[in-house]
A and B are shown apart, each in its own frame.
Chain A
């Protein structure tokens, strides 16, 4: 098993200073299932005791899975200006 972070490191990803994902933590705090954590293939969403969810936007592969999975519309997702570039795809 190759660690996720190492796998993400294989990709070219130009990360900006600002997160392209915003979560409404007042909603996330009350969310029990947190499907965003389960569906995201990049470990972008992590459980956080205080905020409910922490977003590691620099890991994002821009697939959109979390956007569909969030049942409460707590996620504002815009594509980043640069982001990931695949060599094979």
Chain B
């Protein structure tokens, strides 16, 4: 195999498709390991096509860049976490403040990714911008990546092209009805690209922010017009990011459209200020058990393309997973090149299994079933609001016992105790 590799006329050791967080992390790591790398990015600069809710847990960035991460153009450290739950005219909220926390930052991707890409460029990695990959063909033992800027011959592709995962489609790792694929061996036989496995993120940037020099992250439930999903708000340096994540299967049968629901949301929040930008993006929403295939001959899949979004009820995160999976893919690329066998990419899967990504994803699996569940978005908030309303009301009649109030509200919403207990166990 080694001889064959030497004989083949490859342009690079690794072609990275997508210059976002995962792709750039992979490129930085591969370059530091002495591999020749090229990055193909569809946008006019890295970040120009990216949208995130807007908060990054920075541990992965620190691991990748060391102290240098402090130079990154992050927005504000998030020191206040707020949950708001709306039901009709009721609103319950909960806040937690930690003045010392520098665990996560608000972030605007257009600015951040452009900086991140320049970090790779400073290491000598060429990034080809405004480059649209239109296909990938297998040729001899390697791959030919087709783009509107020409072909690239490579023994290995690292895919970081986001939730739509076109590279995986081109190579037959995943498929869907509307794509005419040639049948490929080793095809994972799960129902890929189903609406229930995705959320639509719709987002608006407002030109004002609350007072203060640190950021607040809000998770907002009950303002998505009955659609399964939630809202968010993050404070940036000069702006506020607000948005909704809406389950696609829930949105499909709904009367109101996503672009109307987001405006309702903004109005109900009562946010002052001018709108600066309106954006949308797909968010992977896989359970651990149904994650797509992450490796095959000559390809490693990273970030959103691999479905690495973790929602454990308290935190929702994809960006740290993207950076870490990219870093691991870069490390794996070095090992694969050293072995000389580009069909044996299992080493990347082993590294993922040892990382926090798959461990946390598996741990969050039970709780994530709650978010596919009608009760979470309807009955439970109503029960909570009902209990609070009665406990905060004084009528002159004898005060009700909280236990009776709870049991009464649970019964009113037709929830069985056994169901409730089962759901509660998923949280713990």
Q: Decide yes or no: A64 and B164 within 8 Å by CB, A41-B200, A70-B178, A89-B47 being known contacts.
A: yes
A residues near B239, Cβ cutoff 8 Å:
88
**Does residue B362 face the partner (Cβ distance < 8 Å to A)?**
no
Q: B176-205: which residues lie under 8 A (CB-CB) from chain A?
A: 176-178, 193-195, 198, 200-202, 204-205
> How far does the alpha carbon of A67 sit from the alpha carbon of B248 in the complex, in Å?
11
Q: Is the CB of B278 within 8 A of A89?
A: no
Q: Which residue from B108, B134, B176, B251 sits with its C-beta under 8 Å from A78?
A: B134
B residues near A69, Cβ cutoff 8 Å:
195, 248, 252
B interface residues, how many (CB within 8 angstroms): 56
**Does residue B2 face the partner (Cβ distance < 8 Å to A)?**
no
Mark the stretch among B256-264, B317-325, B397-405 that contacts chain A: B256-264
Q: Is the CB of B110 within 8 A of A86?
A: yes
**A45 to B: closest C-beta gap in Å:** 10
Q: A2-34: which residues lie under 8 A (CB-CB) from chain B?
A: 2, 4, 7-8, 10-11, 33
A interface residues, how many (CB within 8 angstroms): 42
Mark the stretch among B49-57, B211-219, B343-351, B418-426 that contacts chain A: B49-57
> How far does the alpha carbon of A29 sit from the alpha carbon of B110 in the complex, in Å?
39
**A62 to B: closest C-beta gap in Å:** 7
Q: How many inter-chain residue pairs (CB < 8 Å) link A and B?
A: 140
B residues near A75, Cβ cutoff 8 Å:
178
Q: Is the CB of A68 within 8 A of B198?
A: yes
Q: Is the CB of B258 within 8 A of A39?
A: yes
**Does residue B58 face the partner (Cβ distance < 8 Å to A)?**
no
A residues near B257, Cβ cutoff 8 Å:
37-38, 40, 43
> In the complex, what residue of chain B is closest to A4 when comparing beta carbons?
B259
The listed residue with most B CB atoms (<10 A of its CB), out of A7, A10, A63, is A63
> How far does the alpha carbon of A8 sit from the alpha carbon of B262 in the complex, in Å?
13
> In the complex, what residue of chain A is closest to B134 when comparing beta carbons?
A78
Q: Is the CB of B110 within 8 A of A88?
A: yes
B residues near A74, Cβ cutoff 8 Å:
178
> How far does the alpha carbon of A40 sit from the alpha carbon of B246 in the complex, in Å?
12
Q: Decide yes or no: A86 and B49 within 8 Å by CB, A41-B280, A63-B282, A81-B132 being known contacts.
A: yes
A residues near B252, Cβ cutoff 8 Å:
33, 35, 38-39, 69
B residues near A63, Cβ cutoff 8 Å:
200-201, 280-282
> How far does the alpha carbon of A83 sit from the alpha carbon of B47 in the complex, in Å?
13
B residues near A83, Cβ cutoff 8 Å:
49
**Does residue B153 face the partner (Cβ distance < 8 Å to A)?**
no
**B106 to A: closest C-beta gap in Å:** 11
**Does residue A61 face the partner (Cβ distance < 8 Å to B)?**
yes
A residues near B260, Cβ cutoff 8 Å:
1
Q: Decide yes or no: A73 and B178 within 8 Å by CB, A35-B252, A68-B248, A85-B48 being known contacts.
A: yes
**A84 to B: closest C-beta gap in Å:** 7
**A41 to B: closest C-beta gap in Å:** 4
Q: B96-123: which residues lie under 8 A (CB-CB) from chain A?
A: 108-111, 113
Q: B202-244: which residues lie under 8 A (CB-CB) from chain A?
A: 202, 204-205, 239, 241
B residues near A55, Cβ cutoff 8 Å:
none
| Across the A-B interface, the 3 shortest Cβ-Cβ residue pairs | A73-B177, A89-B109, A89-B110
5 pairs from A and B in contact (CB 8 Å cutoff): A10-B275, A69-B248, A85-B110, A89-B108, A89-B109
Binding site for B on A (CB under 8 A): 1-2, 4, 7-8, 10-11, 33, 35, 37-43, 61-65, 67-70, 72-79, 81-89
Binding site for A on B (CB under 8 A): 42-44, 47-52, 108-111, 113, 130, 132, 134, 148, 163-164, 166, 176-178, 193-195, 198, 200-202, 204-205, 239, 241, 248, 251-254, 257-260, 262-264, 267, 275-282
Given contacts A38-B254, A89-B48, A89-B51, 13 further A-B pairs with CB under 8 A are: A4-B259, A10-B277, A11-B278, A35-B195, A42-B280, A70-B177, A73-B176, A84-B49, A86-B49, A88-B241, A88-B277, A89-B47, A89-B111
